[in-house]
């Protein structure tokens, strides 16, 4: 990592070195409150996804504001949050392999931990290891609700896994993971509605079939920032896992809004500066692929009409300028990343700004925790 920091607490915004990951604290706090408020008075719990921020300071803030716990995507990621004092984590992923199973059980001795299962070999691995060590762990069955990634394809498979889990004394069957990742990014509200309606139908039918065995399905969990109000109002889901809502990114902002959607604000930016201005219509900034993930497209230039981000190489971003652009060598500007999660994962720290002052610098402690 860099031997020096982009910013110190108390710095003026203009003093922040570039490129730097910036959090607009006012917008961030409004985003947290908006989603938490939307859950109040319902029986739907908020368990925000921490893969978006990988930052214990943010997780603890979300919990303080009413979140029941967090989601993580990796065992090593969860370990960072357990060490920071987060008491309740659902690892929304299949945990496979002897080492990973052992690490998950280690964590389950120190916090409430849940994991996903979609294969009988996983049930037997966890059943055996948890019984040997006499450690209880929560288990959710993931069902494929339409995104074609993980999860059992059929209701019959889910029922069979529930039966097996129920027989394992140290596996605490909790319910179903029903996350439709691609639906989060469908552009039209009616596309998202129709996808989530299908998710709910499958979740509901699976729950019913499992409960016919006399096995209680206590929890149906899922949803992301693009669809969270649909799951909230579904009467099927009782837990939601949105993560990006705290930051927003260019991709999520491109979704057309339904009348019931919450308005989340852009709170995450990359401060960058012009390092070359070789022609009137071209400038080059110091934030490229290693400062902003381009998997969901190029970042957007924030609140400037005279520049657009054309292409990225490792350490360069090429801007196309309009005629008469006032941008000069050394000028700084803000970018909105195309995809917040992998962008945050590039940085060691997030510089938190309010009223043009650096109020805090939060370490992204789970950056790179992919095991």
Member of 11, 62, 69, 93 binding a second copy (CB under 8 A): 93
Shorter beta-carbon distance to a second copy: residue 50 or 353? 50
Q: What's the length of the chain? A: 371
Alpha-carbon distance 194 to 368, whole Å? 36
Alpha-carbon distance 85 to 348, whole Å? 20
Member of 274, 307, 327, 361 binding a second copy (CB under 8 A): 274
Q: Which residues 231-260 are close enough to bind a second copy by CB under 8 A?
A: none
CA-angle at 56, arms to 51 and 60, nearest 5°: 110
Member of 155, 273, 306, 354 binding a second copy (CB under 8 A): 273
- Please identify, among the stretches 59-67, 220-228, 258-266, 336-344, the one whose residues bind a second copy according to the rule CB under 8 A: 336-344
Structure tokens at 182: 């691609």
Member of 112, 293, 301, 353 binding a second copy (CB under 8 A): 293
CA-angle at 51, arms to 113 and 292, nearest 5°: 170
Closest distance to a second copy from the beta carbon of 335 (Å): 13
The residues near 363 (Cβ < 8 Å, ≥ 6 apart) are 55, 57, 348, 349
Shorter beta-carbon distance to a second copy: residue 99 or 257? 99
- Please identify, among the stretches 36-44, 98-106, 197-205, 220-228, the one whose residues bind a second copy according to the rule CB under 8 A: 98-106
Q: Which residues 128-167 are close enough to bind a second copy by CB under 8 A?
A: 142, 144, 148-153
Shorter beta-carbon distance to a second copy: residue 39 or 361? 361
User: Beta strand pairing status for 282-285 and 349-354?
Assistant: unpaired
Residue 109 is a binding residue for a second copy (CB under 8 A) = no
CA-angle at 368, arms to 363 and 369, nearest 5°: 95
Shorter beta-carbon distance to a second copy: residue 174 or 287? 287
Supply the DSSP string of 73-117, one letter for each residue. Answer: SSHHHHHHHHHTT--EEEEEEE--SHHHHHHHHHHHTTSEEEEEE
- Please identify, among the stretches 158-166, 202-210, 222-230, 343-351, the one whose residues bind a second copy according to the rule CB under 8 A: 343-351
Q: Which residues 169-188 are close enough to bind a second copy by CB under 8 A?
A: 181
């Amino acid at each position: 990592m860099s031997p020096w920091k982009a910013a110190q607490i108390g710095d003026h915004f203009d003093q922040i070195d570039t490129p730097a990951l910036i959090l607009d604290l006012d917008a961030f706090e409004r985003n947290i409150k908006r989603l938490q408020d939307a859950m109040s008075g319902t029986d739907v719990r908020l368990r925000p996804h921490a893969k978006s921020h990988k930052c214990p300071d943010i997780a603890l803030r979300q919990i303080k504001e009413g979140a029941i716990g967090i989601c993580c995507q990796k065992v090593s990621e969860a370990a960072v949050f357990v060490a920071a004092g987060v008491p309740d984590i659902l690892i929304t992923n299949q945990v496979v392999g002897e080492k990973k199973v052992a690490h998950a059980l280690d964590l389950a001795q120190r916090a409430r931990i849940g994991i996903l299962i979609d294969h009988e070999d996983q049930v037997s691995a966890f059943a055996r290891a948890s019984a040997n060590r006499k450690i209880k762990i929560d288990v959710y069955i993931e069902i494929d609700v339409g995104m074609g990634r993980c999860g059992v394809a059929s209701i019959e498979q889910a029922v069979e896994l529930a039966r097996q889990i129920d027989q394992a004394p140290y596996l605490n069957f909790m319910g179903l993971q029903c996350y439709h990742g691609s639906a989060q990014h469908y552009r039209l509200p009616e596309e998202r509605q129709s996808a989530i309606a299908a998710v709910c139908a499958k979740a509901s039918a699976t729950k019913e079939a499992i409960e016919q065995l006399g096995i209680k399905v206590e929890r149906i969990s899922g949803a992301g920032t693009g669809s969270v109000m649909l799951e909230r109002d579904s009467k099927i889901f009782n837990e939601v896992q949105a993560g990006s809502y705290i930051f927003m990114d260019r991709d999520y902002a491109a979704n057309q809004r339904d009348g019931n959607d919450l308005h989340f604000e852009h709170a995450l930016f990359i401060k960058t500066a012009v390092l070359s201005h070789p022609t009137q219509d071209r400038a080059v900034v110091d934030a490229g692929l290693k400062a902003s993930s381009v998997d969901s497209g190029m970042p957007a230039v924030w609140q400037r009409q005279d520049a657009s981000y054309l292409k990225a190489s490792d350490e360069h971003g090429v801007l196309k300028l309009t005629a008469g652009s006032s941008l000069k060598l050394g000028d700084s500007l803000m970018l909105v990343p195309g995809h917040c999660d992998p962008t945050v994962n590039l940085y060691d720290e997030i510089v938190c700004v309010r009223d043009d002052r650096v109020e805090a610098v939060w370490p992204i402690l789970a950056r790179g925790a992919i095991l």
